[in-house]
Amino acid sequence: MSPPRNDDSRLSGAPLTYRTAKVGWLVVALEFAASLAAIALAANQLQEALPLSYAILLALVLLLIPFWHLFLKSCGHVTFVLEGNHLLTQHFPFAARNRRIAVAEIQGVQVNAELDDEGKLTHYSLLLVRDQKGTDRLVDHLPSAEHARVLAQQIDTLVRTARTR
C-alpha cells in the first residue's frame, strides 16, 4: 500500500486519496506465472479433452484472476472529500461501498489493530467513530501502524476543516 497520493490534502476541502491494494506485486507475478505454466503444460491435454474454443476460454479464465488483481493494485483507491457538511467516501472500483456521512455525526477516527484467530496481528484498519451509530469501517488492510496513523490524522484534518467552515 502506498501512502495518500496527494499532498494538497491540507487545503480546505481538497480530496484525500488513498490506494488500497491487499495483494502484493509478488503475488500478482506468481499468479501470472502459474496461469501461464498451467496453460503451457496442460495445453495438449486441454485440447484433447475439450473442443478448441472451450480450451481457449479456460485459459482466459485462468488469466482473469491476475489481471483483476493487477487492476486493483494499480487503480483501486478510496477518496475522502468534503461536500458541504458531509464527508464522502468514494471506493473505486466498488461504488457500492461509497458513503455520505454528516460531519456533525463524526466524533473521530480510530486506528484498529486486526488480529487473526490465534491473536497475531495481521493488519490495521480505520474506524470512523460516530454519534449514535457506533463505528463505521473506513479503510481496511493498512499494512502498518504508521500508515494508519498518518491517514487517520489526514481524515481528521478534513473533518475539522469542515467543522470550521
pLDDT digits (tens, 9 = 90+) for 21-31: 667 778 888 88
Q: 86 and 32 share a domain? A: no
pTM over 0.75: no
Confirm whether 1 is domain-assigned. Answer: no
Confirm whether 97 is domain-assigned. Answer: yes
Q: What is the mean predicted confidence (pLDDT) over 39-54?
A: 65
Confirm whether 59 is domain-assigned. Answer: yes
Summarize pLDDT for 98-136 with one digit per residue, the tens: 889 888 888 888 998 989 999 999 888 888 888 777 788
Burial zone of 42 (CB within 10 Å; 0-12 exposed, 13-18 middle, 19+ buried):
middle
Where on the phi/psi map is residue 15: left (φ > 0), alpha (ψ -120 to 50), or beta? beta
Comparing 89 with 143, which gets the higher pLDDT? 89
Confirm whether 4 is domain-assigned. Answer: no
Q: Which range of residues forms the domain containing residue 51?
A: 25-73
Domain count of the fold of the chain: 2
Q: 81 and 53 share a domain? A: no
Q: 98 and 128 share a domain? A: yes
Highest mean pLDDT among 4-18, 35-49, 86-100: 86-100
